[in-house]
Amino acid sequence: AAPHAIAIAGLGDPGDSASLGAGRWTVQDLGAQRVGVLAAPRAGQRILDACAGVGGKSTHLAELAADQAAIDAADQSATKLGLAAASARRLGLTSIRTLTCDLLDPAAPLAAHYDLIVLDAPCSGLGVLRRHPDAKWRLTAADVPRLAAIQRQLLDAVVARLAPGGALIYSVCTFTRAEGPDQVAALAARTGLRVVAEERTWPPDADAFYAAR
pLDDT tens profile 33-64 = 999 999 999 999 999 999 999 999 999 999 99
- Tell me which of 3 and 88 has the higher pLDDT: 88
Cα distance between residue 73 and residue 188, in whole Å: 25
Give the pLDDT confidence score for residue 4 in this predicted structure. 85
Give the pLDDT confidence score for residue 196 in this predicted structure. 97
Whether the CB-CB separation of 99 and 71 falls below 8 Å is answered with no
- Per-residue pLDDT reduced to its tens digit, 196-208: 999 999 988 888 9
Give the pLDDT confidence score for residue 78 in this predicted structure. 97
- Write down the pTM of the prediction: 0.94
How far, in Å, are 110, 140, 177, 183, 196 from residue 31 at the CA level? 27, 24, 17, 19, 19
- Per-residue pLDDT reduced to its tens digit, 70-113: 999 999 999 999 999 999 999 999 999 999 999 999 999 999 99
User: Which amino acids are annotated catalytic?
Assistant: 173
Cα distance between residue 193 and residue 2, in whole Å: 26
Cα dihedral sign for 7, 12, 14, 17? Answer: negative
